[in-house]
């Protein structure tokens, strides 16, 4: 039986690290949206692809016993604002989130990753 099954809380080095996660989000968004033009016909599929790419990159960080939740919002960029709200019920000691925003001349993208620890 693994010793991690008996841990109530993660060790500090194993906690969800928002700054590292934000860097991962940023690299995925920049790599995949740098030359992308907004198209309402393809954005639904593009959003799904971004979610999966971000999820895979975060999973590679090996946050054991963390549920990783990824949300991506893409819209046409016309200089407008956007308000996105999110509510979570979690433990402030173990759970956390990271957000990054990407814009180019054609689109905006807001990506959020939450890491929620399984007890």
Residue written as tokens 């893409």? 74
Domain-located, residue 69: yes
32's CB contacts (< 8 A; 6+ apart) are: 46, 49, 50, 53
Domain-located, residue 29: yes
For residue 58, the domain's CATH number is: 3.30.1140.40
Q: What is the largest CA-CA distance in the chain?
A: 55
Domain-located, residue 110: yes
Domain-located, residue 51: yes
pLDDT in tens, 2-55: 555 667 888 888 999 999 999 999 999 999 999 999 999 999 999 999 999 999
Domain-located, residue 4: no
Domain-located, residue 5: no
Q: Supply the range of the domain harboring residue 31.
A: 13-117
Q: Across residues 88-110, what is the average pLDDT?
A: 95
Q: What is the pTM of this model?
A: 0.89
Q: Is the pLDDT of residue 87 over 60?
A: yes
Total domains, the chain? 1
Domain-located, residue 39: yes
Per-residue tokens: 119: 């007890």
């Amino acid at each position: 039986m693994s010793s991690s099954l008996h841990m109530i809380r993660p060790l500090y080095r194993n906690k969800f690290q928002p700054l590292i996660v934000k860097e991962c989000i940023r690299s995925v968004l920049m790599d995949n949206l740098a030359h992308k033009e907004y198209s309402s016909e393809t954005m639904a599929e593009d959003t799904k692809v971004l979610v999966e790419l971000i999820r895979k990159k975060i999973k590679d960080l090996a946050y054991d016993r963390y549920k990783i939740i990824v949300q991506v919002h893409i819209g046409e960029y016309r200089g407008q604002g956007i308000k996105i709200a999110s509510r979570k019920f979690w433990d402030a000691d173990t759970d956390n989130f990271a957000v990054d925003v990407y814009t180019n001349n054609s689109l905006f993208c807001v990506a959020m990753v939450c890491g929620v620890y399984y007890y």
